[in-house]
């Protein structure tokens, strides 16, 4: 079971890397998080009412994030990743920590990208397509990095992680 506790961190790391390198978070990442959550919840014996509340938390986050997407504040991949992540956290204090960390890391990334984009990209970096894309002033911020960092920060305290590690 302990090895299975590494699945969520691995998927989140992949999501962050994908967003950094391509400015996209593929749908299969969010789908994998959803399917694996339900499979692991059944495997470790999470009761159905708790699973339902986790699903409600994920659905609520999806609605909020799609509103943010419609307003142009975040990308569609970010919205789906946030919702799939919140499914793992549920309506718990861990969710509040996640939202706080997302806001802090996302804000710092925004300031960092605004600052870096004020200066020309060094000549050696012009051959790296992903760096050129990140440096483009018209490009957004790869917010999936903040979502993944926050998810990784709070995951050890999540119910599913604790059950997989046998601590609850």
pLDDT in tens, 91-149: 999 999 999 999 999 999 999 999 999 999 999 999 999 999 999 988 889 999 999 99
Q: Report the alpha-carbon angle 117-13-86, nearest 5.
A: 100
Confidence of residue 33 (pLDDT cuts 50, 70, 90): very high
What pTM does this model have? 0.93
Nearest to 78 by CA among 146, 136, 128, 138: 146
Q: Which residues contact residue 135 at a Cβ distance below 8 angstroms, ignoring those fewer than 6 apart?
A: 116, 117, 121, 125
Domain boundaries, the chain: 3-164
pLDDT in tens, 53-83: 999 999 999 999 999 999 999 999 999 999 9
Answer for the pair 11, 33: CB distance below 8 angstroms, yes or no: yes
Answer for the pair 38, 51: CB distance below 8 angstroms, yes or no: yes
Residue 1 has pLDDT above 90, yes or no: no
pLDDT at 16: 98
pLDDT at 79: 98
User: What distance in Å separates the CA atoms of residue 50 and residue 33, rounded to the nearest whole number?
Assistant: 17
């Amino acid at each position: 079971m302990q090895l299975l506790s590494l699945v969520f961190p691995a998927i989140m790391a992949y999501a962050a890397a994908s967003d950094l390198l391509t400015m996209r978070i593929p749908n299969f990442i969010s789908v994998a998080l959803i399917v694996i959550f339900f499979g692991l919840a059944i495997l470790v014996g999470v009761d159905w009412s708790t699973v339902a509340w986790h699903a409600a938390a994920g659905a609520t986050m999806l609605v909020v994030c799609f509103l943010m997407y419609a307003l142009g504040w975040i990308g569609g991949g970010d919205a789906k990743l946030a919702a799939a992540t919140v499914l793992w956290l549920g309506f718990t204090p861990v969710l509040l920590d996640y939202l706080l960390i997302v806001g802090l890391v996302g804000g710092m990334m925004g300031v960092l990208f605004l600052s870096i984009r004020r200066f020309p990209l060094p000549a050696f970096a012009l051959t790296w397509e992903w760096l050129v894309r990140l440096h483009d002033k018209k490009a957004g911020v790869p917010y999936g990095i903040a979502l993944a960092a926050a998810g990784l920060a709070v995951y050890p305290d999540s119910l599913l992680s604790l059950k997989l590690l046998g601590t609850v």
